[in-house]
Structure 1
Amino acid sequence: MPAATAPVAKTNGTTSSAAIAAASTSSIPRESQGRFYSPLVRSIAAVEGLSVTELDSIAGTGLEGRVTKDDVLSYLSNRGARPAAPATPAPAAAPSTTSAPASSPSVSVNALAPVGLPVGADDEVIPMDRVRQLIAEHMVKSKLTSPHVTSVAEADVTGIVKLREKVKGAFEKREGFKLTYTPFFGVAVSEGTKQWPRINVSVDGKNIILHKRVHLGMATALEDGNLIVPVIKNADTLNVTGMARSMNDLAQRARTKKLSPDDISGGTITVTNVGGFGSLFGTPVINQPQTAIVGIGAIQKRPVVRELNGEDIIVVRHMVYLSITYDHRVIDGALATQALAAMVRSLESMNESTVAI
């Protein structure tokens, strides 16, 4: 199962991660000493506990001397094991839709990892680079912050399979890229989320932030084995063709390292294709500060029971499992399963008669 819930950065000057972009930036000002700090740089600084003074001391290599992500990562690498300086306290601010939960515990991978493990003669010790440490911290923090619960449902997507088979040739000729199944799932997840908006929330301390639009995070595999989660803004307004165009655009820019910080921030719910390598379903980790993530399993032909003229018959259908992992602090089982059922109904309603592509 791809670890799609860990929005991963890439090193060596490539796109940063949604995990870093989702971190709170409230302790770092937008400007200091006449220099502007981007949300991405401020997020990395917040995660790493860099002070404004430390940021001001970094020599920027960007336009007009701006400090870039690579400048910060290089500084952190050179700083080595020196303890991070505490972040400058910030005045109380209004809850931000992109800030990490105020009650989230502080997490250190080194503090949680076992020490003194035996190393065999044939074992290789691979030190975590800075990016992998950030991913690990993000994953542990999410598990410590949110009580994870997963529900699974099954959907009959035979109509979608037949529709795609019929239109995929003309679609590719017209659009210039292949029509995959993912846009259909993106539409279904967005529709189900819109019908049950209380899964489209974030937690900020003792407040629940209800997002009015569905901004869909889309886990995307990169060639180096990492993952990143670009965000489809206003996904609830898109049909299958519009969803396909948005997904293809973001995926291509992710793989060519052309995503902007805005492209990987602001998500309200995430979808991850755990079936891409054959998994039936998965239990992904929630992408903080979101409170739900939907996993798409592999589409498989399976014998199922259907009723015909009052008699049960066994037929072969294209079936898929959907899973929703949710934060039980704010989402109860009844709500999550009703939202999941709405997603299933959306999928099962798609066919040649109901969807124009």
Structure 2
Amino acid sequence: MSTQVLMPQLGETVAEGKILTWFKSEGAEVREGDNLFEIETDKVTMEVQSTAAGKLSSIRVQAGEVAKVGAVVAVIGGEREAAATPRISAPQRAAAPSAAPAANGRATPSPAPVPTMRSPFEEVATPAESFGNAKGPLGLRLTPLARRLIAQNGLDAEAIARQVSAAGGSKISEKDVRAALAAPAPADAPDTGGAGPVVSPPASPKPVAIAPLPGSVMQLNTIRKRTGERLAQNWQTIPHVFQAIEVDYTVVETVRAARKASFKAETGVSLTYLPFIARASCIALKEFPQVNAQFDGSQLALASEVNLGIAVDLSHNGLVVPVVRSADDLTLPGLAKAIARQIDNARTGKLTGDDFAGGTYSISNNGAFGTAFTAPIINAPQVAILSTDAIRLKPAVVETEQGAFVAPRLTGMVGQSFDHRAFDGAYSAAFLSRLKAILETRDWAAEFA
């Protein structure tokens, strides 16, 4: 009996994964629990263990290739069953009509392959035929999806390669092929028989060609590229508004200074300002539920609990936002430990897809770098994100019953980017004012009782 190895679901928004390396080769014996392969998505890199024992009879997706969630990437055991899996045979492929060039210079697309039998448990079928070599014209590499789109649409791979090369690219991706598909047909295209011109959607903006410069080229990793794509989409589709307010952290610092040494000794966790800000945020979010929500474009889903995303920098090689679930149920010490645990998991590659799912509000903390204020990009479908920056000792006017006077105070900016479709500026400002009041006046010592 054979066991199909599927590309796992690593989070509710992850649609595909790239196999970085196989730890076993075809024909090798695999035990249940053995590390089988390593995958990289736009959010996480992790090792996948085998759930079955037997001989690794077939590897369907090679290292460096991308597969959709649910796709069969390998088969363990049952060589006869694996060999009997319906596939398109060589004679069938030979009998398929070839792509004939059309008058406009593009080849007529070949008919789509007849679907093969699949398990009802598979989400996505693997391709039924090969779509060419990964090495394309002009020495450029073609991604698997780019090869399929070129073959199925009868495109000129060399023409696409020239455009990509002129723009300074090193590989042909799905985006390049879709841009070629969206490009208008040549001027000498044949008459359409009175049906009217075919209107193509506007092409995606082409990357700006970079003139050769002295130095080196740094290839972006998958996390960096996918993070950039997602943030660019959020910036373009969400009407961002940013507000900030200055907070006096002197009361927080009094408690933090008194507790940080013992807290470190007891838990091994450093007591920073972040847990205080996170705890104050959870309290304020309960009073302003529209901030703790998700927006789908037409309606606002108010969350009953606070699932707090914490932005984590991966040594300047990418950004991830793991979630602390039910953060509103945790005390300040509990939040400090939960946040530290997620940050450590992020930096040691131990996060799973579930660690990124279900966030309702996020915090980005750049204070360690000395920034004055930061306007972050919203992590959709959330509707707001908080930023915290450097806390410095400054002269400030202090109001007392005896009058106002100038005194040294620890102050810093707290800002919030919010989606103007979800609520207005007055609502956001009221939330920030309440957050400020909690940070400045709460009995923080009681959190440690």
TM-score by length of 1: 0.72
Question: 1:200–1:291: 8 Å Cα contact kept in structure 2?
Answer: yes
Q: Structure 1 residues 225 and 114 mapped into 2: Cα distance closer, same or farther (>3 Å)?
A: closer
Q: What amino acid is aligned across from residue 83 of structure 1 in structure 2?
A: A
Quote the residue 1:40 is aligned against: 10
Is the counterpart of residue 76 in structure 1 residue 66 in structure 2? yes
Question: 2:327–2:335: 8 Å Cα contact kept in structure 1?
Answer: yes
Q: What amino acid is aligned across from residue 147 of structure 1 in structure 2?
A: P
Higher helix share: 1
2:239 is aligned, of 147, 162, 166, to 147
Correspondence list, 1:206-225, <5 A: 206-223=298-315, 225=317
Question: 1:302–1:319: 8 Å Cα contact kept in structure 2?
Answer: yes
Correspondence list, 1:111-122, <5 A: 111-112=204-205, 114-120=207-213, 122=214
CA distance in 1, matches of 2:148, 2:394: 57
Over the residues paired in the alignment, what is the CA RMSD in angstroms? 3.0
CA distance in 2, matches of 1:328, 1:253: 33
Quote the residue 1:160 is aligned against: 252
* Cα shift readout 1:255-301 (whole Å, capped 9, x = no counterpart): 22212211122111100112120001100111111111000111111
Question: 2:314–2:320: 8 Å Cα contact kept in structure 1?
Answer: yes
Correspondence list, 1:1-357, <5 A: 37-40=7-10, 43-45=13-15, 61=37, 62=48, 63-64=50-51, 74-76=64-66, 80=143, 82-83=145-146, 111-112=204-205, 114-120=207-213, 122-223=214-315, 225-351=317-443, 353-356=445-448
Q: Structure 1 residues 72 and 165 mapped into 2: Cα distance closer, same or farther (>3 Å)?
A: farther
CA distance in 1, matches of 2:370, 2:63: 35
Deviation (angstroms), 1:328 = 0.9
Q: Structure 1 residues 108 and 215 mapped into 2: Cα distance closer, same or farther (>3 Å)?
A: farther
Deviation (angstroms), 1:34 = 6.2
CA distance in 2, matches of 1:37, 1:119: 39
Question: 2:227–2:318: 8 Å Cα contact kept in structure 1?
Answer: no
CA distance in 1, matches of 2:284, 2:205: 37
Question: 2:292–2:383: 8 Å Cα contact kept in structure 1?
Answer: yes
* Cα shift readout 1:47-89 (whole Å, capped 9, x = no counterpart): 99xxxxxxxxxxx844247xxxxx7982139652753879xxx
Deviation (angstroms), 1:125 = 3.2
Q: Structure 1 residues 128 and 72 mapped into 2: Cα distance closer, same or farther (>3 Å)?
A: farther
CA distance in 2, matches of 1:186, 1:42: 24
Higher strand share: 2
- SS of residue matched to 1:306: strand
Question: 1:304–1:314: 8 Å Cα contact kept in structure 2?
Answer: yes
CA distance in 2, matches of 1:117, 1:185: 43
Question: 1:281–1:321: 8 Å Cα contact kept in structure 2?
Answer: yes
Deviation (angstroms), 1:188 = 1.0
* Cα shift readout 1:286-341 (whole Å, capped 9, x = no counterpart): 11111110001111111111223443211111111100001111121011111111
Question: 1:73–1:130: 8 Å Cα contact kept in structure 2?
Answer: no
Larger radius of gyration: 2
Q: Structure 1 residues 296 and 257 mapped into 2: Cα distance closer, same or farther (>3 Å)?
A: same
Q: Structure 1 residues 248 and 127 mapped into 2: Cα distance closer, same or farther (>3 Å)?
A: closer
CA distance in 2, matches of 1:47, 1:326: 31
Q: What amino acid is aligned across from residue 302 of structure 1 in structure 2?
A: K
* Cα shift readout 1:205-243 (whole Å, capped 9, x = no counterpart): 322221111100011222463322110101111111110
Deviation (angstroms), 1:350 = 3.4
CA distance in 2, matches of 1:241, 1:84: 53
- SS of residue matched to 1:115: coil
CA distance in 2, matches of 1:353, 1:213: 25
Q: Structure 1 residues 42 and 211 mapped into 2: Cα distance closer, same or farther (>3 Å)?
A: closer
Question: 1:232–1:246: 8 Å Cα contact kept in structure 2?
Answer: yes
Q: Structure 1 residues 160 and 41 mapped into 2: Cα distance closer, same or farther (>3 Å)?
A: closer
CA distance in 2, matches of 1:134, 1:290: 18
CA distance in 1, matches of 2:270, 2:262: 10
CA distance in 2, matches of 1:275, 1:212: 30
CA distance in 2, matches of 1:324, 1:284: 8
> What is the aligned length?
289
Q: What amino acid is aligned across from residue 119 of structure 1 in structure 2?
A: P
Deviation (angstroms), 1:204 = 1.6
Same amino acid, percent of matched pairs: 28
Question: 2:293–2:382: 8 Å Cα contact kept in structure 1?
Answer: yes
